[in-house]
Amino acid sequence: MRDKAPHFYVKWLGWPHSANTWEPLENLGNCAEIFREFMISSLAKNMAVVNPLSIPSSSSPTPSTIPSPTPSDRPATPTPTPTTVIDSLTQALQEFEDIFSQSPGPRIAVENDIDHQACPEGFTYLNTSIYGSGVQEPDMDFSSFCRCEPGQCAVENGCDCMIEAAEVNEFDQVPFEKDGRVSEKASRLLWECNSRCGCGPSCISKASQNGRKFALKIKRFPGKGWGVVLNQADPIPPRTCVARYTGEIITIKDAEVRERHYKDLRQTWLFDLDYNAEGEAVYTVDAYKCGNESHFFNHSCDPNLSVYMLGGSSAGDLDLMIPSFWSNREIRQGEELTFDYTGRFVAPWLRREEDDSDEEEEGDEEEGEEDASKRKSSCMCGAASCRKWISF
Ligand SMILES: [Zn+2]
Ligand SMILES: [Zn+2]
Ligand SMILES: [Zn+2]
């Protein structure tokens, strides 16, 4: 669909595939019978996806309790005609956009020129994560905080949050710049001010807490499904917060059960909160059925986003720090937003660290090859440094 008007990819009789073109409906008037057969077979394949789309009424439901529509809940299946199929597909993409219109900030558009897939069935938009069973929600009454006036959070002003931010940074500096971007000397943990602090939303450490600032488009890509691209003329500057990862926070035990299912789907939406863990993570964020635009971020071996863990809003529970995505270079209009699912990528300005992690990588790979439970998927990132497969 382009600008909400359906287009069809046409192979012209007597012409090679290289001559295929996208055509609007009005140009297909001479192909009525072929067109009708195509639409009806498409409808049969996609009706299950198109029909049940709905936005659950609860503002923050537990995904595992969202009931799947039963056959009796579904509207009676109409006799498929090209017009009803087009209406259904247009409506499905509009509902997809409506789900993401709940995201505060500039519009998130949806585009699918490739096939007839709509929003994943039953997907719920979450601006912040929800807590699954067995996970204790941080009690902010027990959170540390500073009493600074707006604009005053700084080590030299005695701000406890900035002192903590510098202490947890291996470079011994506050990792935030004056405009809220992360500094080049920031390690993976960013300690932020929180809702109890006196500094207000303009604090340099709160860039990740003030919502999305960039217009995005969730777009269907050939061969790899949905992805997210920047959808505005102004580029995203380097070292800028783009999104937080949201979903349902679950115990690692529950994650292991779900992981088996996701492996069968050959995809994963599990993000281990393992920054603080010497061994296994205690919790995992599952964004399969709920989350924000980051649900659709694809893997790249040479990504334009780096992951930082956010502390300060988890009431001291370091196992519940929040994953966040920050640009590691300028990102231009139309560029896809990607991160490294394996966690190996290191921002260009910290490449010295990467030399160390390369040695670990080799060890990981050997271990991975011996681990029969790991499955590999071909990597579609197209980067020059592509590792050709992702294990999950
Ligand atoms: Zn402060
Ligand atoms: Zn503070
Ligand atoms: Zn502050």
Query: In angstroms, what is the span from residue 117 Cα to ligand 1's centroid?
Result: 47
User: Is residue 307 a contact partner of residue 341, using CB atoms and an 8 Å limit?
Assistant: no
Query: In angstroms, what is the span from residue 210 Cα to ligand 3's centroid?
Result: 13
pLDDT at 76 over 90: no
Query: In angstroms, what is the span from residue 198 Cα to ligand 1's centroid?
Result: 7
Query: In angstroms, what is the span from residue 30 Cα to ligand 1's centroid?
Result: 69
Query: In angstroms, what is the span from residue 143 Cα to ligand 2's centroid?
Result: 10
The residue among 154, 139, 151, 278 whose CA lies nearest residue 195 is 139
Residue 355: its pLDDT value, please? 54
Q: What is the pLDDT of residues 242-251, one digit of tens each?
A: 999 999 999 9
Measure the CA–CA gap between 240 and 183, rounded to whole angstroms: 10
Query: In angstroms, what is the span from residue 198 Cα to ligand 2's centroid?
Result: 7
Q: What is the pLDDT of residues 229-262, one digit of tens each?
A: 999 999 999 999 999 999 999 999 999 999 888 8
Query: In angstroms, what is the span from residue 78 Cα to ligand 2's centroid?
Result: 58
Q: What is the pLDDT of residues 201-210, one digit of tens each?
A: 999 999 999 9
User: Over the Cα atoms of the chain, what is R_g?
Assistant: 23
Query: In angstroms, what is the span from residue 180 Cα to ligand 3's centroid?
Result: 11
Q: What is the pLDDT of residues 5-24, one digit of tens each?
A: 666 666 666 666 666 666 76
Checking DSSP bridges between strand 322-327 and strand 305-311, what pairing results, if any? Answer: antiparallel
Provide the total of helices (H) and of strands (E) in the chain, helices listed first.
Answer: 5, 19
Show me where the domains of the chain are located: 7-68+89-125, 126-360
Residue 345: its pLDDT value, please? 81
Residue 363: its pLDDT value, please? 40
Q: What is the pLDDT of residues 149-206, one digit of tens each?
A: 999 999 999 999 999 999 999 999 999 999 999 999 999 999 999 999 999 999 999 9
Measure the CA–CA gap between 88 and 77, rounded to whole angstroms: 12
Residues with CB under 5 A from ligand 3 (ion): 153, 193, 197, 199, 203
Residue 318: its pLDDT value, please? 85
- 341 contacts: CB under 8 Å, gap ≥ 6: 268, 299, 390, 392
Residue 11 to residues 5, 18, 39, 86, 113, Cα–Cα distance (Å)? 19, 9, 15, 20, 15
Share of the chain above pLDDT 90, in %: 48
pLDDT at 226 over 90: yes
DSSP assignment of 367-380: HHHH-TT--EEE--
Q: What's the whole-number mean pLDDT along residues 68-74?
A: 45
Answer with the residue of higher pLDDT: 369 or 126.
126
Read off φ and ψ for residue 309, nearest 5 degrees: -95, 135
From the CA of 156, the nearest ligand is: 1
Residues with CB under 5 A from ligand 2 (ion): 146, 161, 193, 197
pLDDT at 38 over 80: no
Measure the CA–CA gap between 174 and 177, rounded to whole angstroms: 8
Helix (H) or strand (E) holding 270: strand 270-272
Residues with CB under 5 A from ligand 1 (ion): 146, 148, 153, 159, 161, 199
Query: In angstroms, what is the span from residue 194 Cα to ligand 2's centroid?
Result: 6
Read off φ and ψ for residue 82, nearest 5 degrees: -55, -40
DSSP assignment of 43-98: HHHHHHHHTT----SSSS--GGGSPPPPGGGSPPPPPP-HHHHHHHHHHHHHHHHH
pLDDT at 126 over 90: yes
Query: In angstroms, what is the span from residue 192 Cα to ligand 2's centroid?
Result: 7
Measure the CA–CA gap between 285 and 368, rounded to whole angstroms: 22
Measure the CA–CA gap between 76 and 74, rounded to whole angstroms: 6
Query: In angstroms, what is the span from residue 321 Cα to ligand 1's centroid?
Result: 19
Residue 20 to residues 11, 16, 224, 243, Cα–Cα distance (Å)? 5, 7, 21, 38
pLDDT at 359 over 80: no
pLDDT at 362 over 60: no
Task: Work out the pLDDT band at 340, boundaries 50, 70, 90.
Answer: very high
State whether CATH 2.170.270.10 applies to domain 126-360.
Answer: yes
Residue 65: its pLDDT value, please? 34
pLDDT at 27 over 60: yes
Measure the CA–CA gap between 331 and 369, rounded to whole angstroms: 34
Q: What is the pLDDT of residues 80-111, one digit of tens each?
A: 677 777 778 888 899 999 999 988 899 999 99
Residue 374: its pLDDT value, please? 59
Residue-averaged pLDDT of the chain: 80
Read off φ and ψ for residue 228, nearest 5 degrees: -125, 130
From the CA of 176, the nearest ligand is: 3
Q: What angle do CA 218, 219, 221 make, to 5 degrees?
A: 145
